[in-house]
Amino acid sequence: MSRESAVDESFASRVAFITGAGRGQGRSHALRLAELGADVALVDLGSVGSVSSPTYATATRDELNSVADEVRGLGRRALVVEADVRSAEQMVDAAASAVRELGQIDYVVANAGITDGFAPTWELAPENWQTMIDINLTGVFHTVRAAIPHLLVEPAGRGLVLIGSGVAIKAVPNLSHYVAAKYGVRGLAAALAAELGPYGIRCNSVHPAGINTEMTTAMVELNGIPREELLERFRSGQLLQMNVEISDITAAVVWLLSDEARFVTGVELTVDAGESKK
């Protein structure tokens, strides 16, 4: 059996529930999983809410619908779910609609997140701290809390990947609410691996370096730093002097969900070009 076919067989007739799927890394994970045979529930904020503190442009309904069209173009089913990860109720409804429309949930990719402007901790506005924790940490809790009961119905081969950050392994200054939230995600993934192991369900976290996505656009706008300077800062903090790309994170997520990684759980997988080792 070729390596490629081993991965293929993991995903046929499976359903992935992906938050932050309207663009960027979430979109990429959805498209790759669809290419490999999975149907996908695409969860993003769309038109059901907005982010203030900081003012933040999230994926639109049109962007979400266009990812769904791309998935359908690959011959797979796509369900668009506009939901705010800050709402426990909306996430319970999102998971229920995924099961109703697509039959089951096999995989969870908790990927939705925001960033913020750089500031020392003692100058951070409490409302910016709160928004960050609500989306980047509590939002992940709401996601897994809503989805896991559906995974437990038939746990064999099910898996979760929580998206952290390189800064959850090696902290950076002036973004402490983001760092704290992502350290929390790392802890949540470890706790879930311990809780779900007895059921045969795996949970891992992936920790990307800085990548050129709309999150970088937000960093450019919030901090007034030119994009190329930001990308150069990412590179200079790494052992490998090239910017990590979205597809590199997708490859890690897909492998962790695949049956090839069937004995891999509780792992904190850095895809950070050596950032955390420098």
Ligand X SMILES: NC(=O)c1ccc[n+]([C@@H]2O[C@H](COP(=O)([O-])OP(=O)(O)OC[C@H]3O[C@@H](n4cnc5c(N)ncnc54)[C@H](O)[C@@H]3O)[C@@H](O)[C@H]2O)c1
- Residues forming the active site: 178
The least distance separating ligand X from the CB of residue 21, rounded to whole angstroms, comes to: 7
* Size of residue set near ligand X by CB under 6 A: 30
Between residue 249 and residue 278, which ones bind ligand X under the rule CB under 6 A? none
Look-up of token digits 């359903």 = 15
Q: How far apart are CA 186 and CA 167, in angstroms?
A: 11
Q: Where are the alpha helices (DSSP H) in 152-245?
A: 176-196, 214-223, 227-236
Amino acid at 156: A
Q: How far apart are CA 137 and CA 112, in angstroms?
A: 10
Q: Does 85 bind ligand X (CB under 6 A)?
A: yes
- Among the listed residues 81, 113, 138, 276, the single contact to ligand X using CB under 6 A: 113
Q: Does 32 bind ligand X (CB under 6 A)?
A: no
- Among the listed residues 20, 159, 184, 237, the single contact to ligand X using CB under 6 A: 20
Q: Measure Cα distances from 133 to 39, 175, 201 in Å.
A: 30, 12, 26
Amino acid at 251: A
Q: Which is nearer to ligand X, 8 or 231 (CB)?
A: 231
Q: Does 184 bind ligand X (CB under 6 A)?
A: no
Q: Which is nearer to ligand X, 86 or 186 (CB)?
A: 86
Burial of 208 (0-12, 13-18, 19+ CB in 10 A): buried
Task: Give the interface segment with ligand X, choosing from 98-106, 110-118, 145-153, 223-231 (CB under 6 A).
Answer: 110-118
Q: Does 186 bind ligand X (CB under 6 A)?
A: no
Q: Does 204 bind ligand X (CB under 6 A)?
A: no
- Is residue 11 a contact partner of residue 36, using CB atoms and an 8 Å limit? yes
Q: Which is nearer to ligand X, 10 or 165 (CB)?
A: 165
Q: Does 176 bind ligand X (CB under 6 A)?
A: no
- Among the listed residues 10, 15, 16, 26, the single contact to ligand X using CB under 6 A: 26
Amino acid at 126: P
Pseudo-torsion of CA 94, 95, 96, 98, nearest 10°?
Answer: 90
Residues that bind ligand X (CB under 6 A): 19-20, 22-26, 44-45, 51, 58-59, 84-86, 111-114, 135, 139, 163, 165, 208, 210-211, 213-216
